[in-house]
Chains A and B, each alone.
Chain A
């Protein structure tokens, strides 16, 4: 009898869950119930009589919403199956979403966030009844102050872009106070800063000037100096940039803007490679922001809720959103007496359960641990870079021969020219092996881009496996391009015709719109 089972192949024989699950409306069984509501007591009925029936015709719902009717196990099964058709950090080597800082979100922190002592708090409860949560928020703010070197933080923004907007709004208030709101109508950013820096500034009414890198891929100081003027309201800049390159002249950038009377905001959404290494304060910034769902480990939730934290120097603290969280030596309290505040940037105090998670994460690591996070993230990145640059057709444009911080924007340009296979297609084929990558933010200044960010959460073996998958797919591109072009093969679904999603006649954002449109298109 043969007993030896044999070796594993270099790349995993993965197959994504494929439940071929219907749309939930197709599962409806008339009469089924998934959840009951507490019965109304007879005494209430006797006291109030008909209430809904007494509503005037014009506002009472006559036609019931066409929601599905389902038993509880069937609802559970449907969504559990959909969840299986999804990859998350818990399941894959999630290093292909560069700039997103996909790291391990400790389970213990989820459990704390899901405890009744957190979930069952109403935000308007008396301060005396929420001392614990206020303490967590106050202490978390003090940690972020130390990590950035800035003087005050608000945790109210509900994610990174909301924090950028809050920062823009505070800078606008600063210039308005100096009677320069009209004059200062331009915001400067760089093309390798997150797109929300440009988009938030535009939304707030600013003209956006975008700087492109110099020949070596570094932010161009000459271009900045040419752009700065008495119209400059602010510089909004990500550092390290999305290329993983740290701008070594960042101090000079800040000085040039300050000299012209503008303010500088540091996008530290992803500060994973520089915790305890370099800070906004020393670089001279007036404001910065962190994403608790990136650097500080709170789970990404398929796209939120995350949490944003906006930090400012003491000169700008008067503009922070209201309320701030204060401590008088005895108890914690909310301070709404802030006449110069920009007001509210969102309801209540922000995504509180993620503040608790981030607090727990920092407490579990301490100063030494945070630095370990940064150093290992950077080590992992440079290790992965050296591995993947051995792959034919792949390059890391810019800053040649230099090291990178926590991520690298690679280019498959050579492979595309030689094989006709594009970065997007490689990304789809990679999904056949149990992981994935995302090309990059638009526009593709780096041709055929791929941005990898291997945070501190992955082992050397994980990085080797990821590199082996890329190597395997790159080889396929040269030797068997058809298998790449026709991917995915092992995913939940096969190639999808995304063209229908750009045509108003055929796009369908709801099941009802889909049904209406297939009906209409048949008639034609």
Chain B
């Protein structure tokens, strides 16, 4: 006769009946129900949760999930030109190796002695980012670049005691939505224009808007159209003349070839580090950084953990701990700055590994490769009859806008036809920026070979015909 099915659970060592019985006896309880005595009967859920039958064996589980995931077509199987905040860069194997190690992956909030490793690794991440950014203070990562921008603006408001911030009209709509929600109710936002030819800040407009009420002038470089802000230094002066802080959002992956914001006057730099060794994972690889000078009034406004280096009783031994912990909500609840909690530490460790692998030459080679491939794609696409690359009068990093109005096609149609050719076309901008007509945001990185770009160009020619 077949034996009765085992009720033991591989993840739950004490699920065995005999052990439970022994433990219950040891605490003098008749049943587990006794432990729930404080829960009133009316609040007890007495049925069985309506969930699918368990896939108790690992084999069945894997089979089920692989069947579901088989309905995904990936950016490796297809040729992908989507960016807009999540980028397909090469992820070094060593990054995956380190962030998959159980010691890092399954640890949480241990103290500097038992979890020395994560303190040192995150201190090194902060330090490597500090070199890239030419700034002395960098936080343990926050959730993502959206949060980094939103918190940077709140920091600027607290530091200046002012309550207005200036943002570009050319900003990712999702990021803008997050910032609007996050700055309520205390901080007001005003939007400055961008130039039609470059997509960059309309400096004249900005100059009229910045005032003694302005807490921060915020720019992004590259902009959400991929353009590099060439008058970043001039904008710094405009902000500083009125006593406002200059908050600059950048992608650190560009800083092997682009000047760090601190060098053109930024007071706070921020952005997302997904490009530094994180897989796209359907948006799961995001993490945010905030960086400033090492001045008390700045440091004390960070909500995040800041890991610092400290001497131990043994000479030559590096110890670590929290810098100015008393500013955090962990120490002071609502008396702290915003809040701190679980965010994206593992991605900070990974970005540290990435920057160590790349070194100064890797970052400069990478930046150059991206810019040249981007320029190549822009030129080739602009040469297609009827297509126009917008904002060509600016230097581009990784992204650019293609306009389809000349061929009378909607981006939706173009992308559908590209999809049929196993290509993910650029992000449709027609709803977000209706003034740009039927336009799409294309993204090119070091993973796109000349052949890939040529294939895109040939396919575009076909689908607009």
Contact partner of B103 among A91, A133, A165, CB < 8 A? A91
Beyond known contacts A97-B108, A110-B100, A509-B323: 9 more, CB 8 A cutoff: A61-B364, A87-B115, A303-B344, A353-B282, A459-B14, A493-B314, A493-B317, A502-B323, A509-B307
- Say if the beta carbon of A483 comes within 8 Å of chain B: no
How many Cβ-Cβ contacts under 8 Å join chain A to chain B?
730
- Say if the beta carbon of B465 comes within 8 Å of chain A: no
Please tell me if the beta carbons of A494 and B317 are within 8 angstroms of each other in the complex.
yes
> Residues of B contacting A126 with CB < 8 Å?
415, 419, 424
- Say if the beta carbon of A143 comes within 8 Å of chain B: yes
Please tell me if the beta carbons of A32 and B359 are within 8 angstroms of each other in the complex.
yes
- Say if the beta carbon of B161 comes within 8 Å of chain A: no
Interface residues on B, range: 35 or more
Nearest-neighbor residue (CB-CB) of A119 within chain B? B279
Please tell me if the beta carbons of A122 and B280 are within 8 angstroms of each other in the complex.
yes
> Residues of A contacting B26 with CB < 8 Å?
383, 386
The answer to whether A402 and B37 touch (CB under 8 A), given A43-B450, A347-B146, A509-B323, is yes
Please tell me if the beta carbons of A45 and B105 are within 8 angstroms of each other in the complex.
no
Please tell me if the beta carbons of A456 and B362 are within 8 angstroms of each other in the complex.
no
Please tell me if the beta carbons of B312 and A124 are within 8 angstroms of each other in the complex.
no
> Residues of A contacting B272 with CB < 8 Å?
347
Please tell me if the beta carbons of A44 and B255 are within 8 angstroms of each other in the complex.
no
> Residues of B contacting A165 with CB < 8 Å?
339
* Min distance, Cβ B311 to any Cβ of chain A, angstroms: 5
How far is B360's CA from A32's CA once the two chains are assembled, in angstroms?
Answer: 10
How far is B86's CA from A373's CA once the two chains are assembled, in angstroms?
Answer: 36
- Say if the beta carbon of B1 comes within 8 Å of chain A: no
How far is B360's CA from A62's CA once the two chains are assembled, in angstroms?
Answer: 12
How far is B177's CA from A94's CA once the two chains are assembled, in angstroms?
Answer: 39
The answer to whether A67 and B419 touch (CB under 8 A), given A80-B101, A161-B341, A369-B54, is no
Contact partner of B362 among A36, A277, A362, CB < 8 A? A36
The answer to whether A40 and B29 touch (CB under 8 A), given A346-B146, A496-B320, A510-B130, is no
User: Which residues of chain B (184-240) have a CB below 8 Å from chain A?
Assistant: 184-186, 221, 228-233
Please tell me if the beta carbons of A23 and B362 are within 8 angstroms of each other in the complex.
no
Please tell me if the beta carbons of B353 and A75 are within 8 angstroms of each other in the complex.
yes
Please tell me if the beta carbons of A403 and B126 are within 8 angstroms of each other in the complex.
no
> Residues of A contacting B64 with CB < 8 Å?
363
Please tell me if the beta carbons of A66 and B75 are within 8 angstroms of each other in the complex.
no
User: Which residues of chain A (52-109) have a CB below 8 Å from chain B?
Assistant: 52, 54-56, 58-62, 64-70, 72, 75-76, 78-80, 82-91, 94, 97, 100, 102-106, 108
> Residues of B contacting A270 with CB < 8 Å?
none
> Residues of B contacting A79 with CB < 8 Å?
94, 98, 121, 349, 352-353, 356
Which 8 pairs from chain A and chain B are nearest by CB?
A: A366-B54, A348-B283, A496-B319, A90-B102, A86-B117, A301-B346, A161-B341, A303-B345
> Residues of B contacting A83 with CB < 8 Å?
98, 101, 103-104, 117, 121
Please tell me if the beta carbons of B365 and A37 are within 8 angstroms of each other in the complex.
yes
- Say if the beta carbon of A169 comes within 8 Å of chain B: yes
How far is B28's CA from A512's CA once the two chains are assembled, in angstroms?
Answer: 59
Contact partner of A158 among B19, B73, B143, B181, CB < 8 A? B143
* Min distance, Cβ B59 to any Cβ of chain A, angstroms: 10
Please tell me if the beta carbons of B312 and A496 are within 8 angstroms of each other in the complex.
yes
- Say if the beta carbon of B358 comes within 8 Å of chain A: yes
The answer to whether A162 and B143 touch (CB under 8 A), given A32-B359, A43-B450, is yes
Please tell me if the beta carbons of A509 and B94 are within 8 angstroms of each other in the complex.
no
- Say if the beta carbon of B55 comes within 8 Å of chain A: yes
- Say if the beta carbon of B171 comes within 8 Å of chain A: no
The answer to whether A204 and B184 touch (CB under 8 A), given A382-B35, A498-B321, is yes
User: Which residues of chain B (1-56) have a CB below 8 Å from chain A?
Assistant: 9, 11-15, 19-20, 22-24, 26-29, 32, 34-40, 42-45, 48-56
* Min distance, Cβ A450 to any Cβ of chain B, angstroms: 13
Please tell me if the beta carbons of B449 and A346 are within 8 angstroms of each other in the complex.
no
Nearest-neighbor residue (CB-CB) of A143 within chain B? B51
Nearest-neighbor residue (CB-CB) of B98 within chain A? A79
> Residues of A contacting B338 with CB < 8 Å?
199, 203
| Interface hit among A1-9, A221-229, A337-345 | A337-345
Please tell me if the beta carbons of A501 and B332 are within 8 angstroms of each other in the complex.
no
How far is B231's CA from A223's CA once the two chains are assembled, in angstroms?
Answer: 58
Please tell me if the beta carbons of A500 and B310 are within 8 angstroms of each other in the complex.
yes
Please tell me if the beta carbons of B368 and A129 are within 8 angstroms of each other in the complex.
no
| Interface hit among B372-380, B385-393, B398-406 | B372-380
> Residues of A contacting B332 with CB < 8 Å?
442
